[in-house]
Amino acid sequence: MDAKADAKHATLTLGNKSIDFPVLSGTIGPDVIDISKLYAQTGAFTYDPGYTSTGSCESKITYIDGDEGVLLYRGYPIEQLAQGDFLETCYLLLEGELPNAAQKKDFDERVTKHTMVHEQMARFFQGFRRDAHPMAVMVATVGALAAFYQDSTDIKDPQQRMIASMRMIAKVPTLAAMAFKYTVGQPFVYPKNSLTYAENFLHMCFAVPCEEYKMNPVLARALDRIFILHADHEQNASTSTVRSAGSSGANPFACIAAGIACLWGPAHGGANEAALQMLADIGDVKNIPEFIKNVKDKNSTIRLMGFGHRVYKNYDPRAKLMQETCHEVLKEMGHDNDPLLKVAMELEKIALSDEYFISRKLYPNVDFYSGITLKAIGFPTSMFTVLFAVARTVGWISQWNEMIKEPNYKISRPRQLYTGAPKRDYVKVGDRK
Ligand code: CMC
């Protein structure tokens, strides 16, 4: 552990007993109270559903200041990293420092060499219905990598861990593009190693054998930026899932599949799909007041998708960059007058001046504009969360590596507040009333 024990202590009084707990300080961010000995000392657990006040691990990868709207990867602000390329961000997240030119070249080549998947994976796809959601296909096929690459699953061996990590960063986009091609009934397109990471992904998704694919650099740059913005986000639900799965010593490919499953939910990665659907349902600027009224109604379950965040109580810094990217892509594609963009901009304006949203500190998050952008690039809504998974893979694998490297990491095993039946005796079925 590198966190420093503070001079401060936290004192808990339980009944007539007072116990001191150490307070630990990180480099930046709130202090934490180390309650790991709480149960041993008091026989009580803490209760924090949804972990709103719980730090689950020590990490050096990503820092978020939700009140200020700050996101740092390894100390670098996201706005600055967005000037570079995605593989540079991958190297940074995985290795801890930005690469020099030679390291960057070597890393790019190593990722590139792993982009193909075992040819038998193609047959695996044929077991799915054509209308399967591509996230369902991703959960299965990424998990299945464990069955194909058994030479990189000894998690105690740092070299095997690195090979598994490179394979994941390189092959998840290939599987994502295959999932897309499968649903549209087109032949799979092999990776092309002369292209950049984002270009290769666009090529695998949109090229067809009967004609030359013309790369659009504006779209490739936008996609690369979208990948950077989604690459990591500290201990969010899917990352915590990956760490939790990994804490039992599980296979790394299976851990990433678990992360993908968690990401799928509409409160997490599925929000961009839900946000676009919401904009389409609103349809026209004139319907916004009625929609906002429904969102604010205490008895309704409708939420303004793409708004609000567990950690950001200010404008999500990724949302600002995503808004810029959205305008660039729409302009390039001649969709400047897209009615959904008009609805989104007006909705944002109204929500940001409405007391309901202001008092709850609800601001646009990264997903508010990402759906419109991805749609303009040419992706169907069902692929949005898949793209998020492609980008987040490096974050998951970096966090998993960080945990496994730690000599004394523990299996993730929260406790509970039990409110079920107390102990009672079994009654045979014939004797029950
Ligand atoms: N629309 C309307 N009201 C909202 C919204 C929203 N999007 N989000 C939160 N609220 C209200 C909520 O009803 C509650 O009000 P009250 O105090 O009157 O009961 C209050 O704000 C606090 O909400 P909460 O659910 O306790 O907050 P949370 O931190 O548990 O939820 C969230 C965070 C992201 C799940 C939630 O804001 C949400 O559902 N947003 C919409 C989905 C979304 O855009 N998710 C993407 C997150 S960014 C991408 C990612 O990291 O995966």
The catalytic residue positions are 309, 367
- 267 vs 188, higher pLDDT: 188
Distance between CA atoms of 71 and 29, rounded to whole angstroms? 12
pLDDT at residue 270 in the model: 83
Q: Ligand 1 center to residue 234 CA distance, Å?
A: 18
Give the model's confidence band at 150: pLDDT under 50 very low, under 70 low, under 90 confident, else very high.
confident
The C-alpha angle 118, 381, 139, rounded to 5 degrees, equals 35
Helix, strand and coil in the chain, % to nearest 5: 55, 10, 40
| Section 378-394 average pLDDT | 95
Distance between CA atoms of 272 and 387, rounded to whole angstroms? 10
Q: What is the pLDDT of residues 329-370, one digit of tens each?
A: 999 999 888 888 889 889 988 988 999 999 999 998 888 889
| Section 309-320 average pLDDT | 89
Which residue has the CA at smallest separation from atom 21 of ligand 1?
Answer: 360
> What are the distances in angstroms from CA 160 to CA 154, 165, 167, 390?
6, 8, 10, 21
- In the chain, the amino acid numbered 59 is S
Q: What is the pLDDT of residues 222-240, one digit of tens each?
A: 999 999 999 999 999 999 9
Sign of CA dihedral 233, 235, 237, 243: positive
Q: Ligand 1 center to residue 392 CA distance, Å?
A: 21
Strand order of the sheet with strand 62-65?
Answer: 62-65, 70-73, 76-77
Q: What is the pLDDT of residues 246-259, one digit of tens each?
A: 999 999 999 999 99
Q: Which of 309, 312, 322 to mutate to test the pocket of ligand 1 (most atoms within 8 A of CB)?
A: 309
Spell 5-25 as b/e; 16+ CB within 10 A means b.
eeeeeeebeeeeeeeebbbbe
Q: Where are the domains of the chain?
A: 4-55
Burial of 258: CB neighbours in 10 Å, binned 0-12, 13-18, 19+: buried
Q: Give the number of other Cβ atoms within 10 Å of residue 153's Cβ.
A: 18
pLDDT at residue 340 in the model: 86
Q: Ligand 1 center to residue 27 CA distance, Å?
A: 29
Residue 408 has pLDDT above 90, yes or no: no
| Section 76-87 average pLDDT | 97
Cβ of 310 less than 6 Å from ligand 1: yes
Burial of 231: CB neighbours in 10 Å, binned 0-12, 13-18, 19+: buried
Collect contacts of 335-341 with beta carbons under 8 A, ≥24 apart: 335/376, 338/372, 338/376, 339/283, 339/284, 340/276, 340/279, 340/280, 340/372, 340/375, 341/372
The ligand 1 atom at the shortest distance from the C-alpha of residue 268 is 52
Residue 104 has pLDDT above 90, yes or no: yes
Indicate the DSSP class of residue 80: H
Which residue has the CA at smallest separation from atom 19 of ligand 1?
Answer: 298
| Percentage above 70 pLDDT, the chain | 100
Q: What is the dihedral of CA 331, 332, 333, 334, to 10 degrees?
A: 40
Residue 1 has pLDDT above 80, yes or no: no
Output the furthest CA–CA distance in the chain (Å, rounded).
Answer: 79
- Residues with Cβ within 8 Å of 328's Cβ and at least 6 positions away in sequence, in order, are 218, 222
pLDDT at residue 239 in the model: 98
Record the tokens describing residue 419, joined without a space. Answer: 């409110």
Q: Which of 239, 350, 360, 385 to mutate to test the pocket of ligand 1 (most atoms within 8 A of CB)?
A: 360
Residue 135 has pLDDT above 80, yes or no: yes
Residue 79 has pLDDT above 80, yes or no: yes
Which residue has the CA at smallest separation from atom 27 of ligand 1?
Answer: 310
Which residue has the CA at smallest separation from atom 29 of ligand 1?
Answer: 310
Residue 3 has pLDDT above 80, yes or no: no
pLDDT at residue 397 in the model: 98
pLDDT at residue 274 in the model: 87
Cα Rg, the chain, nearest whole Å: 23
- Residues with Cβ within 8 Å of 349's Cβ and at least 6 positions away in sequence, in order, are none
Q: What is the dihedral of CA 13, 14, 15, 19, to 10 degrees?
A: -60
Q: What is the pLDDT of residues 153-188, one digit of tens each?
A: 889 999 999 999 999 999 999 999 999 999 999 999
What would the DSSP string read from start to end of 85-130?
-HHHHHHHHHHSS---HHHHHHHHHHHHHT-S--THHHHHHTTS-T
Residue 428 has pLDDT above 90, yes or no: yes
| Percentage above 90 pLDDT, the chain | 82
The CATH number of domain 4-55, selected from 2.20.28.60, 3.20.20.70, 2.30.130.10, 2.60.40.10: 2.20.28.60
- In the chain, the amino acid numbered 6 is D
Q: pLDDT averaged over the chain?
A: 94
Cβ of 347 less than 6 Å from ligand 1: no
